[in-house]
Structure 1
């Protein structure tokens, strides 16, 4: 298992597509910083309440294009580097060489773990760096409700934490985003057994993400959409029951992948 993990780690992180995916996320964040944050460096105290990095970083901004673009594209960016590797291993015969030297269960587990990790890092790293950039220009003023500056509201998830310990709120939300997008990326592994098209396999996490968004918009149940509740500014208010339910469905998808792949001949 250890040798497999090292080999899959090298395949996942030592490739140009991974760097490009992280790079695209960073470019969106830098674009947002340059257009919406840096120009405010000389106007911090012109409002009734000082501008804060917690309100103006990409994850806290509800009024700019870049946060919408980032959270729309991130499922694709997460899947591009590695999510299609399982499908490619089967089609190219690489999996035969692996299974001669190791157990199938170990191979499948390492593939699932590394797919999760690549999705988690691609989604969270640009966001963390964006907040660091914003913090270099704007002060980390404690959020205050009723000022009209901060995107949150008392009924949002972890509202008390946001208004009392915003760094903890930010840290926990980055973890939530990383876990959700990491699990969402693993859906591509299950899709490898459902289609013969590698492009569709890689797009499957995005298609599931887009499907939930579309259904939530058509039915009016916007609280179901991860496109809304995964943004730290929470333009859409949801509940922990919904978030936990969707996470459990993604975990179930991973469990189905491991079960089906273990039983199915993949050579």
Structure 2
């Protein structure tokens, strides 16, 4: 495993991937912070500094993934992450097979260990590449707004869900989440951690699916973009079929833009994605068992 990470750190594409992901997050943060300041001032004037209203205008709503579609960079992150992460990881077996380095690796370790290490390294690294920039975004938003404590928001949100908070109108009715409201009541941090980890696990599944398919595909560029192709294909197909609530793009998004979301869809889609990735990978390993 250590050898794999040494090779990863020598891979220029790893730094390109990380830099691009972080850059998108930084752009999203600055866009979100400006939006928060404008929204706070606007509602402060409209509702004459109503404390109940202002308690629900929280900076955490500008964490990447939490903001609305108006934050293009935040939406872009969730739309293009498979391609950006793939750049660093998905072609590792492909490159070693084409260069002949795979034969050298088989002399140093068993095939079982080689393919196991490749899969585990790819899964863990993909997860980290997805979540770490997002956690950085949380820190940056908190720093720029000087807001780290969200107890007041959690209390107000609980009252909003229960219908006991006194508001001049229903401007915040859309804030109530279909799923996992209990986590948001506990703390926005708990809700954020759950969704970022969930997104990271789905990201790992997509990248490992691409890694598995790389043992069947001969075109390098197709290997690189295969996770993104699968991601977009699922989105397009499920949209056409009228089942967007089963699309991972909607399932991993913290802002929950659909009302039909369900825990069942999350669990079934997650298990199905990982099962397919494992099966394809196993088939790819068997297909290449005749390699030295």
Taking structure 1 as the reference length, what is the TM-score of the superposition?
Answer: 0.89
Query: Counterparts in 2 of 1:52-201, with a 5 A limit?
Result: 52-62=58-68, 63-138=70-145, 139=147, 140-141=149-150, 142-143=153-154, 144=157, 145=160, 148=171, 152-155=175-178, 157-201=179-223
Residues 96 and 151 (structure 1), Cα distance of their counterparts in 2 relative to 1, 3 Å cut: farther
Secondary structure, aligned partner of 2:54: coil
Q: 1:152 to 1:112 in 2, by over 3 A?
A: farther
Do the aligned partners of 1:161 and 1:169 also contact (CA within 8 Å) in 2? yes
Q: CA deviation at 1:87?
A: 0.9
Shift of 1:196: 0.9
The answer to whether the 8 Å contact 2:65/2:78 transfers is: no
Decide whether aligned partners of structure 1 residues 39 and 252 sit closer, same or farther in structure 2, where only a CA change above 3 A counts.
closer
Larger-gyration structure (1/2):
2
Q: Compare 102-111 and 32-41 and name the one that shifted more.
A: 32-41
Unaligned runs of 5+ in 1: none
What is the TM-score when the length of structure 2 is the normalising length? 0.82
Deviation of the 1:263 alpha carbon: 2.5
Runs of 4+ in structure 1 off by over 6 angstroms are: none
Match of 1:35 in 2: 31
> After alignment, is 74-83 or 41-50 more displaced?
41-50
Residue 163 of structure 1, CA deviation: 2.4
Alpha-carbon spacing, 1:61–1:149, altered in 2? closer, same or farther (3 Å) = farther
- Alignment gaps of 5+ in structure 2: 44-52, 162-169
Is contact 2:65-2:75 (8 Å) kept? no
Aligned to 2:164: none
Q: How many residues align?
A: 262
RMSD: 2.2
